Chain A
């Protein structure tokens, strides 16, 4: 492509970015009854310091306990800190072990930082009746407090790499991920808090001191019904191969919130979640469903080639292609990240390479 054409294309893309930005922002300034219907009637505090995260001296309130999911969600390399406060004496209803129900008042916070600078803190608070309050706070320049982001979010608040900026999600984005499945809270469940932590999990963090784990929840009698078995037989991805275990764990955490059997995308028949209710000998849902054909076709491939995972052939697997992409219409996950996760891509690539090729796919091998 000539320099001139490149320049014009870049200008066009800038125009497109502006247009999309204006388009995305328009309803916020014009939010009428219809948009209001999609927003919780309960409003979050205007400042993070008013949410209960901090003690009077500015430190984290000791009632808010840290936790660290064993398979962290990829957030463009952010350093993340998480805390949860369970109302005193309240129990988590784990009768559905794959969709915990939290008592009203339960609050989660997740802080995002790059290069030691706090950029954003998100808050989820359980309301009466099973609904949730979502909020995002943008840290002030002086790093002393953060202010509530507008409902439409804040695009491009911080440059995380040249030309790539982190955006604060809007409430619609919160809904897109957290209301895609019955679980709502995506990083606080039996697999993520399991004491059998995966040593190959990408971007795994050391457990913070005093972290909430399955063991601590059981010891403090926080689960109803009681589930001591979740400590005796810690939940784990049902794969013996370490690479497969880590790859499927990563996919469960990063993709399984939407791509799950009981979610709104269940009819896609691509299930990447971990179902803790299943027995130890049963395969993970991803094993069978990634062998299916989807709808997305890698550019340059025949229109009837839409294989999610081609065993032994990562370059022909749309799942990996979409993980690697950060083009808006192609990338997976479709929101919340502007940088591809190279460590996870390599892990999933190794997993696909390790799968035995199937004879019926040989005809496709020319691609």
Chain B
């Protein structure tokens, strides 16, 4: 079983994410440029969606990170496939509520432990069983606008910055969805969130 990496060092994790974020985003930008598959959406819409996905830093959390000679980077072979199902996390990391650190991320930067419990980033690829393959653009937009899973269900948890993304136009969100539907489907069943013990 793999556990939260840097369990006692959330500060280091956050620093690593920040330092290597731009490098990683750039890498994903290059690699994903050739990964689109033909879709029903117009190519220019997909291209805009790819651009938005990059500048909105979707890969920072939804693509698992790996250690490279350049430091941590998103793994291009698992583009936007969310928290790896093989990386089992069974309970939240115990963090003092008195600070200074309030939350921590896993080594893949796809699992986050904080006062809300543990959140896992979603599989955004078009896999029909474990990703967004069955979603429609309307479902995607509803999720972003409401901050709820599929626009109806449980709250979308931190650190997903939907309060910022919900201010995007419908056209931009449709473009992002079109791009997400164009990337390779990856079967990866992301675990359900773990609630904080005290809220049970």
Contact = CB atoms under 8 A, between A and B. Distances in A.
Given A24-B147, A32-B167, A327 B195 contact: yes
A363 interface: no
A295 interface: yes
Contacts of B115: 12-17, 19
Contacts of A1: 197
B82 to A, nearest CB: 14
Contacts of B139: 264
Interface in B1-27: none
B146 A173 contact: yes
Interface in B130-155: 134, 138-139, 142, 145-155
Interface in A315-363: 325, 327-331, 334-335
B97 A258 contact: no
B157 interface: yes
Nearest to A7: B97
A329 B117 contact: yes
B192 A334 contact: no
Contacts of A15: 97, 102, 115
A26 B142 contact: no
A74 interface: no
B67 to A, nearest CB: 28
Contacts of A172: 145-148
At the interface, is chain A mostly helix, strand, loop or mixed? Answer: helix
B138 A329 contact: no
A95 interface: no
A20 B169 CA distance: 23
Contact of B151 (A16, A32, A264): A264
Given A12-B115, A334-B148, A329 B167 contact: no
A272 to B, nearest CB: 13
B199 interface: yes
Contact of B150 (A12, A16, A265): A265
B116 A20 contact: yes
Interface in A70-121: none
Given A176-B152, A264-B142, A328-B116, A13 B97 contact: yes
A277 interface: no
A335 B147 CA distance: 12
A33 interface: yes
Interface stretch (A34-42, A211-219, A223-231, A239-247): A34-42
A264 B192 contact: no
A27 B154 contact: no
A144 B149 CA distance: 38
Interface in B152-199: 152-155, 157-158, 163-164, 166-170, 172, 192-199
B95 interface: yes
B126 interface: no
Contact of A175 (B97, B146, B196): B146
A23 B152 contact: no
Nearest to A31: B167
Nearest to A268: B150
B90 to A, nearest CB: 9
A330 B142 contact: no
Interface in B99-127: 102, 114-117
A12 B192 contact: no
B98 A8 contact: yes
Nearest to B88: A303
A133 B158 CA distance: 30
A329 B98 contact: no
Interface string A152-171: 00000000000000000000
B135 to A, nearest CB: 9
B155 A8 contact: no
A179 B94 CA distance: 39
A329 B146 contact: no
A11 interface: yes
B96 interface: yes
B68 interface: no
B200 interface: yes
A345 to B, nearest CB: 16
A217 B71 CA distance: 70
A335 to B, nearest CB: 7
A11 B157 contact: no
A180 interface: yes
8 closest A-B pairs by beta carbon, nearest first, are A16-B115, A11-B97, A12-B97, A327-B195, A329-B193, A172-B146, A26-B163, A12-B115
Given A297-B192, A325-B200, 4 more contacts: A14-B115, A34-B167, A299-B194, A330-B154
Interface of B: 94-98, 102, 114-117, 134, 138-139, 142, 145-155, 157-158, 163-164, 166-170, 172, 192-200
9 contacts: A15-B115, A16-B158, A20-B158, A38-B145, A175-B145, A176-B148, A176-B152, A296-B192, A328-B154
